[in-house]
C-alpha cells in the first residue's frame, strides 16, 4: 500500500503522523541540510497537527497540509535563521555520514550550492525535483499561484546553476565493470 493510499484511508492524525513523519523528515532535511534542524521542524509540525486534531476531518489533503505547515515553519524562521543557514558551512564542519566518499563529496558540493538559494526558491526546487510535485501542488504548499511556483523553481534552479560555477562538480568515478568468467 502506497503512502497516498494510506493517507486517503486515514482516520486519525496519529495514523498520519506514524505513516508520514519519515517522509516529512526527508523533506525537512532537504530544506535545512541539518538533521537537528529537520527534527525540530518536523517536531513543530507534528505538535501543531496534534493541536488541531479536532479539525482533522476537515483537512482534504493531509500530505499537502503537512508539507505546507513544514514549508511555512521553515520560511518563517526569520532573517537571523536564514543568515545562519547561509553562513554556517563556513563555521561548522559538515556532518559525517557513512557511505562512499565520492557520493558524500557530491552531496556536500550540492548542499554548499543549495545554501545560497533563498528559502522559498529552495523549497520550490526541492518540491519540484526531489518530491516530484507539479507546479499546482507546489503552489498549494507555498501558498502562491502556480505561475509564481514555476518562477520560484526556475529562479532557484538558475541560482543553483550559477553556484555550480563557483563549486564545479567533480566527476564521480564509477567502479570498473566486472568481467564475467
Give the tens place of pLDDT for each residue, 134-165.
999 999 989 999 999 999 999 998 888 877 66
Question: Rounded to two decimals, what is the model's pTM?
Answer: 0.55
Please report which helix (H) or strand (E) contains residue 115, including its range: none
Instruction: Kindly state the cell numbers that stand for 28.
Output: 525537512
Give the model confidence (pLDDT) of 43-57 as tens digits: 999 999 989 888 888
Instruction: Report CA 49 to chain centroid distance, whole Å.
Output: 19
pLDDT for the residue 169: 47
The full set of domains in the chain, from first to last, is 1-76 (1.10.1740), 95-170 (1.10.10.10)
* 12 backbone dihedrals φ, ψ, rounded to 5°: -145, 160
Give the whole-angstrom CA distance, residue 155 versus residue 148: 10
Give the model confidence (pLDDT) of 50-86 as tens digits: 898 888 888 888 999 999 999 888 887 655 566 666 6
Give the whole-angstrom CA distance, residue 118 versus residue 96: 25
Instruction: Report CA 55 to chain centroid distance, whole Å.
Output: 26
Other C-beta atoms lying within 10 Å of the C-beta of residue 127: 27
Give the whole-angstrom CA distance, residue 127 versus residue 138: 6
Q: At which residue does the C-alpha cell 538533521 appear?
A: 35
Helix and strand counts by DSSP (H, E) for the chain: 9, 0
Packed helices 135-142 and 146-166: angle between N→C axes, nearest 10 degrees: 90
What's the mean pLDDT in 19-23? 90
Amino acid at each position: 500500500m502506497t503512502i497516498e493510499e494510506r493517507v486517503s484511508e486515514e482516520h486519525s492524525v496519529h495514523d498520519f503522523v506514524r505513516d508520514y513523519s519519515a517522509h516529512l523528515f526527508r523533506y525537512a532535511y532537504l530544506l535545512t541540510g541539518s538533521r537537528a534542524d529537520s527534527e525540530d521542524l518536523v517536531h513543530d509540525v507534528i505538535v501543531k497537527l496534534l493541536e488541531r486534531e479536532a479539525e482533522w476531518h476537515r483537512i482534504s489533503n493531509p500530505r499537502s497540509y503537512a508539507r505546507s505547515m513544514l514549508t511555512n515553519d521553515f520560511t518563517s524562521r526569520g532573517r537571523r535563521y536564514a543568515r545562519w543557514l547561509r553562513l554556517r558551512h563556513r563555521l561548522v564542519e559538515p556532518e559525517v555520514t557513512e557511505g562512499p566518499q565520492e557520493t558524500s563529496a557530491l552531496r556536500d558540493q550540492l548542499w554548499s550550492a543549495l545554501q545560497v538559494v533563498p528559502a522559498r526558491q529552495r523549497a520550490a526546487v526541492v518540491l519540484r525535483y526531489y518530491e516530484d510535485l507539479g507546479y499546482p501542488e507546489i503552489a498549494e504548499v507555498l501558498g502562491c499561484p502556480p505561475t509564481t511556483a514555476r518562477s520560484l523553481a526556475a529562479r532557484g534552479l538558475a541560482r543553483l546553476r550559477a553556484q555550480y560555477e563557483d563549486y564545479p562538480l567533480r566527476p564521480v568515478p564509477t567502479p570498473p565493470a566486472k568481467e564475467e568468467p
